[in-house]
Amino acid sequence: MSTRTRTRQRAFGALAVVIALIWMFPVYWMLNSSFLPYNRIRAAEPSFLPLNGTLSAYGRVFDSNFFDTLRISAMVTGITVVAALLFAFLAALALSRFRFKGRRSFILAVLIIQMIPAEGLFISQFKLLEGWQLLNSVIGLSLLYIAAVVPFTIWMLRGFVNGVPRDLEEAALVDGCSRLQAFFRITFPLLAPGLVASGVYAFLQAWNEFTLSLVIMTRPENMTLPLWLRSFTEANRVSDWAGIMAGSVLVAVPVMIFFLLVQHRMTSGLVSGAVKG
Amino acid sequence: MNRALRLTAGLAAAALALSACGGDGDDSTEPAAGGESAGTPEPADLRLWLNGPDTPQSMRDWLVAEFEEQNPGSTLTIEEQEWEGLVDRLTTSLGSESETPDVVEVGNTQAPTFTTVGAFTDITDLLPDLGGDDLLQGFVDAGSADGSTYAVPLYAGSSYVFYRKDLFAASGLEVPTTMQEFVDAAVKLKQDNASVPNFSGFWLPGQDWRDGAAFLWDAGGDFAVEDGGEWSGALSSPESQEGLQLVQRLFTEASGAPKDGNEADGHVPFCAGEVGMALRPGWLRGSLEDPEIGCPDLMANVGVFALPGTDGEPAPVLLGGSNVAVSAKSPNQELSAKLLELILSDEFQSQYAENGLTPAKVSLADGLGTDEFAAATIEAVTNAKLTPAAAAWATVEGSRVLEDLFVAIANGGDVQQLAEDADAAIADQLG
Amino acid sequence: MLLLPALAILVAALGYPLYRQAVMSFQEYGLAQQFGQPAEWVGLDNYVTLVTDSYLWTVILRSIVFCFANAAITMVIGVALAVLMTVIGRGPRLILQIGLLLAWAMPHLASLTVWQWLFDSQYGVINWLLVNLGFDRFAGHSWLIDQLSFFVVATVIVVWMSVPFVAFAVYAGLTQVPGELYEAAEIDGASAWARFRAVTVPLVKPVLLIVMLLQIIWDLKVFTQIFVLQDAGGITAQTNLIGTYIYRLGLGEGEFGLAAAASWFVLLLTVVLSLYYVRVLVREEEL
């Protein structure tokens, strides 16, 4: 690499860090507020640093049933992510590798489903789950979430499957692999960035969803995290803002862990894989 | 490729394992729905939904213990709900036989939404046992439709004026005894404290029509009136106009609150020393006294009085509160009725009074005590009013016509013109 | 068949609700029906109510402008950041990704609250900053009471929330572009912009199209951000978009039939608005 490109890369790197900091500012403000006593969260002179702050907000939210709620949310989100990726992956494979009757209508239908305004649909979805006795059940809620994220995931992954040069697979076929083998050995690793991007999307949709969870999970022992968080808005007649911010920090931590676990998959995509393949 | 395949299979298995957990959890709670009764009620597990923090933990504990003692074998579970999203949750859950709570609390303005549609059990026959004429009549009306009663009052609360004694003294003011004195005091406080940024002689954020209503009503006006079964907006009537003009004067000459702000978090400017007077619900006291969120040190300088009307009597302020009802779909009707009786018993209701809320029964109001706060509470309630009893009133609130009207008034708009527009919108929604 | 699981779950979870939604839109269906009373068939009444409401058309026009402005800004920033990720080193890239993800992962309750605080007229950081920079007229300035200013604030929040998704999706697409293609183009002497247009865009086109389409769909349906801002300030009648208007039209009070009709109406509108993209997408399909 020439020095010129290296300096340029440095300059862009610095720009990226600046943008990241700007984008993070509201997040920082959440963290900051979670350490502040109430009269400093909203004051004529803003406190930019939590100096002389307090951890009491964390104490308040931790003794609530955070871990039970976390468990429910983790189950719902886990099922949603795994099932949505798996189903969408299979569908994307079928759509981009095989020609069959009804293929176009399926693609169009999936697209249109994205456009349906969701407000009000929860009434009918509640009736549906009631009929199947799946109210207040992790499976019932997951089912609705999977259906909500699968259309996008199909589209996203289809783009990626299309993007994998077919020559690569065919080369593998020549080498004596079966079609399935060729697929899993060559195509699958190349899809990793798409799977990660879709996975993060599905994860966040399920993790932060509020309305469906509100009407489906009505029993306290089945609360998901967004419902749990919402309970601090009326905890003491006025909203416990420090508690809400502390709770939000706790809710965001598992998302970060999930992302850090999968993020390296995002960069080691085709570029390296294709050359080796 | 085998590894990849096994991975996929493993993930699927994990999903199945997780799903099994979900299923189990559900099964174990299932028997709660059982218990068809004949004669004496079969023991059952009752679920009661209470909203927000108005019913303190000690009262909940008492209710559970008492209920389970009176009905051996039965249990009571109190599940706390949030006000936000409550209507969505009630709309779905009350219609489901397996998931409905047995007894629910609803806001008094939400009650008419559910009474006319068959969501609640008709409890007209129970009314005498629940308190009869002793109950807060406006709330009974809110819970009645077509001559039958479906929901009864749970508790009520109304706003009174919190003021700063030290600022009053500095400006040489006495506690006002008429509306005129009150307005003069508010304006003078703002003038005398002009050096404090955002200072309010009387704190009234732009969207706060609920507290602004007192001035409208005091002048003899109203939001909407009924004439031969037809509701129409009444904001442009001469009396309403007088009230709204006064509101505009307060906005411009007495208030330093945001012109389009809402009334949540009223304790923040109060604790910051930016407020001389504010018309707030009694629970503001709790917020101010709370060391975590309020300013207990300031309390020595805080006094309260009921907002005085033009005639020197307490001005009509908006009465808020809750109703309580039995779900029509509940399989435990008899036990639910017993629970309702217990909730409206003198023992339980007087505990609301001890906690500073107006109990559902007029005769128990003395339980509020005798201090300054109790006196203001009792006085304020004597003349308090409810929003118009039109069945579709919730639509008016939902569309935020009144918030828009008050913000526009705060922003210096033409009161007559704005009121006529709002009347047209209200007539449209109530018609 | 490979399609079966996806198809099954879509039919299972959405089929019946959508069917019911369609039926309801031709019925007088309110809370009473929800609690068991028979629904009355009213034909096209719900649709007529909607179409003859002149305010609805104002709201639709407003929504379309808002939607395209937001989708365009989001796409430009999102794609720019995605491209930026491909040219920077590992460290800065991870920092940028984490920054974006944090914004994306922040619970909506917290993010919307923080944004309200930042723009608060009396205790807001933004006004505090402006006043300290010498702009005294921003003391107590309300950012929401003026219609245009309200939508600027809404745009900032919506864009801030949607850019991470676009950046991640497009970046994932970009990693698929084989490096050799760039090198070949570079040797040919193509400028960076020309390389971007000639090499990158065609290869990530499927992802770009779908992401763009989704932005249009989502920004047309935007609800929570507007709803929360209306509660914080501003004048509701001047700031309603389709989502909040449908809600205020009666969903909150249980007018489900009308709301269902509105949903189908909005769906039709979305299809019309995105027809161009849908056609491009389907044509891609033929390749």
Q: What is the 3-state secondary structure (H, E, C) of chain B?
A: CHHHHHHHHHHHHHHHHHHHHHHHHHHHHHHHHCCCCCCCCCCCEEEEEEECCCCCHHHHHHHHHHHHHHCCCCEEEEEEECCCCHHHHHHHHCCCCCCCCCEEEEECCCHHHHHCCCCECCCHHHHHHHCHHHECHHHHHHCEECCEECEEEEEEEEEEEEEEHHHHHHCCCCCCCCHHHHHHHHHHHHHHCCCCCCCEEEECCCCCHHHHHHHHHHCCCCCEEEECCEEEECCCCHHHHHHHHHHHHHHHHHCCCCCCCCCCCCHHHHHCCCEEEEEEECCHHHHHHCCCCCCHHHHHHEEEECCECCCCCECCCEEEEEEEEEECCCCCHHHHHHHHHHHCCHHHHHHHHHCCCEECEHHHHHHHCCCHHHHHHHHHHHCCECCCCCCCHHHHHHHCHHHHHHHHHHCCCCHHHHHHHHHHHHHHHHC
pLDDT in tens, B46-89: 999 999 888 889 999 999 999 999 999 999 999 989 888 888 89
Separation CA C41–CA C26 (nearest Å): 6
How many angstroms separate the CA atoms of C227 and B400, rounded? 11
The class that CATH gives domain B43-149+320-374 is: alpha beta
Å between B417 CA and nearest CA of chain A: 34
Domain-wise residue ranges, chain B: 43-149+320-374, 159-318+384-430
- Which CATH number does A60-276 carry? 1.10.3720.10
Q: B185 Cβ partners below 8 Å, 6+ apart?
A: B168, B171, B173, B176, B201, B276, B277
pLDDT digits (tens, 9 = 90+) for B240-279: 999 999 999 999 999 999 999 988 888 899 999 999 999 9
In this complex, do C13 and A104 lie within 8 Å of one another by their Cβ atoms? no
CA distance C30 to chain B (A): 9
Question: DSSP label at C37?
Answer: P
The whole-angstrom distance between C190's CA and the closest CA on chain A is: 16
Q: CB B362: neighbour CB atoms within 10 A? A: 15
pLDDT attached to residue B33: 38
User: Residue C1, Cβ neighbours under 10 Å: how many?
Assistant: 10
Inspect the interface and report whether the beta carbons of B19 and A231 lie closer than 8 Å. no
Name the phi and psi angles at C230, rounded to 5. Answer: -65, -35
Chain pair B-C, CB pairs under 8 angstroms: 83
Same fold for the pair B43-149+320-374 and B159-318+384-430: yes
* B124 inside 8 A of chain A by CB: no
**A139 and C CB contact within 8 Å:** no
ipTM of the complex: 0.87
- Interface membership of C261 toward A (CB under 8 Å): no
Looking up tokens 């407000």 gives: A119
- What integer pLDDT is reported at residue A275 of this predicted model? 32
C36 chain-A contacts, CB cut-off 8 A: none
Enumerate the residues of chain C whose CB falls inside 8 A of the CB of residue B262.
Answer: 231-233
| Structure-block tokens of residue A3 | 């020095």
pLDDT at residue number B3: 36
Chain B residues with CB inside 8 Å of C36's CB?
95, 118
CA distances from C241 to B62, B169, C228, C246, C248 (A): 48, 49, 13, 9, 10
Cβ contacts of B260 on chain C, cutoff 8 Å: 121, 142, 144-145, 233-235
Q: Confirm if A153 and A84 have CB atoms less than 8 A apart.
A: yes
Q: How many CB pairs under 8 A join A and C?
A: 292
**Which residue of chain C is at minimal alpha-carbon distance from B114?**
C31
Give the per-residue pLDDT at A2: 67
Q: Which of B118, B259, B400 is facing C145, going by the closest CB pair?
A: B259
- Nearest CB to B82 within list A136, A180, A231: A231
Q: What pLDDT was estimated at residue B19? A: 36
- What is chain B's length? 431
Among candidates C36, C144, C254 on the partner chain, residue whose Cβ is nearest the Cβ of B260? C144
Q: Which helix (H) or strand (E) holds C266?
A: helix C256-273
CB pair distance less than 8 Å for C121 and B258:
yes
Cα–Cα distance for residue pair C285/B284, rounded to 1 Å: 63
Q: How far is CA B323 from the centre of its chain?
A: 10
pLDDT on residue B212? 94
Q: How far is A2 from chain B (nearest CA, A)?
A: 40
Please name every residue paired with B322 in a beta bridge, in sequence order, or none if there are none: B107, B155
Q: Which of C14, C107, C274 sits opposite A226 (nearest CB)?
A: C107
3-state secondary structure at position C28: strand
In terms of Cα–Cα distance, which of B114, B25, B57 is closest to B325?
B114
Helix (H, G, I), strand (E, B) or coil at A44: coil
pLDDT digits (tens, 9 = 90+) for C235-279: 999 999 988 888 887 666 678 888 888 888 888 888 888 888 778
Closest CA of chain A from B149, distance in Å:
27
Spatial CA neighbour of C266 closest among C9, C90, C89, C21: C21
Nearest CA in chain A to B80: A220
Strand pairing partners for B153? B323
B274 in Cβ contact with B198 (< 8 Å): yes
Give me the pLDDT at residue B39, please.
52
Write the CATH number of the domain with boundaries B159-318+384-430: 3.40.190.10
- Nearest Cα of chain A lies from the Cα of B161 at a distance, in angstroms, of 18
Two structure tokens written together for A171: 């080369």
Q: How far apart are CA C46 and CA C44, in angstroms?
A: 6
C6 CB within 8 Å of a chain A CB: yes
Q: Which of A29, A24, A28, A30 is nearest to A245 (CA)?
A: A30
Closest chain A residue by Cα to residue C168: A197
Q: Report the gap between the CA of A73 and the closest CA in chain C (Å).
A: 13
Best to test chain C binding among B16, B100, B400 (most C CBs inside 10 Å): B400
Contacts of A220 in chain B (CB under 8 A): 79-80
Q: What sign results for the dihedral spanned by CA atoms B417, B419, B420, B424?
A: positive
**Would the CB atoms of C13 and A226 count as touching at under 8 Å?**
no
Q: Give pLDDT < 70 ranges for chain A.
A: 1-2, 64, 235-237, 266-277
DSSP at A220 = G
C42 Cβ under 8 Å from any chain A Cβ: no
Sketch the domain layout of chain A as residue ranges: 1-54, 60-276
Grouping H, G, I as helix, E, B as strand and the rest as coil, residue A83 is: helix
Contact call for C145 and B328, based on CB within 8 A: no
Taking an 8 Å cut-off on Cβ atoms, the answer to whether C34 and B114 are in contact is: no
Subunits adjacent to chain A (3 or more Cβ pairs under 8 Å): B, C
Q: Which residues of B touch A242 (CB under 8 A)?
A: 292
Q: What's the pLDDT at A139?
A: 94
> For each of chain B's 431 residues, which pLDDT tens digit applies?
343 333 333 333 333 333 333 333 333 333 333 334 445 678 889 999 999 888 889 999 999 999 999 999 999 999 989 888 888 899 889 988 888 999 999 988 888 888 888 899 999 999 999 998 899 888 898 898 888 999 999 999 888 999 999 999 999 999 999 999 999 999 999 999 999 989 999 999 999 999 999 999 999 999 999 888 888 999 999 999 999 999 999 999 999 999 999 888 888 999 999 999 999 988 888 888 888 778 899 999 999 999 999 999 999 999 888 999 999 999 999 999 999 999 999 999 999 988 888 899 988 888 888 888 888 888 888 788 888 878 778 888 888 999 999 999 999 999 999 999 999 999 888 87
* Residues in a beta bridge with B161: B279, B305
* Chain C residues whose beta carbon lies within 8 Å of the beta carbon of residue B198: 122, 140
* Least CB–CB distance from C103: residue in A26, A98, A144: A26
Beta strands in chain C (DSSP E): 27-28, 40-41
Which residues in chain A touch residue B280, judged by CB atoms under 8 angstroms apart? none
CA distance A176 to chain C (A): 23
- Residue with tokens 């950046």, as numbered in its chain: C167
B355 sits in the region (left: phi over 0; alpha: psi -120 to 50; else beta) called: alpha
* SS3 call for C41: strand
Q: Are B219 and B242 in contact (CB under 8 A)?
A: yes
Residue A186 CB partners (closer than 8 Å, separation 6+) = A164, A168, A169, A172, A277
- Is a pLDDT exceeding 50 seen at residue C189? yes
Q: Say which residue the tokens 């109950």 belong to.
A: B135
Q: Which positions in chain C touch B197 (Cβ < 8 Å)?
A: 139-140
Structure-derived torsion over alpha carbons of residues B358, B362, B368, B369, reported in degrees to the nearest 10: 160
* Cβ contact B12–A86 (<8 Å): yes
Confidence at residue C284, expressed as pLDDT on a 0 to 100 scale? 67
Domains and CATH numbers, chain C: 67-286 (1.10.3720.10)
Please check whether residue C77 touches A, CB under 8 A: no
Name the DSSP letter for residue C241: -
Residues of C in contact with A158 (CB under 8 A): 206
Q: Are B201 and B189 in contact (CB under 8 A)?
A: yes
- To test the contact with chain C by mutation, choose from A124, A142, A224, A262 the residue with the greatest count of C C-beta atoms within 10 A, namely A124
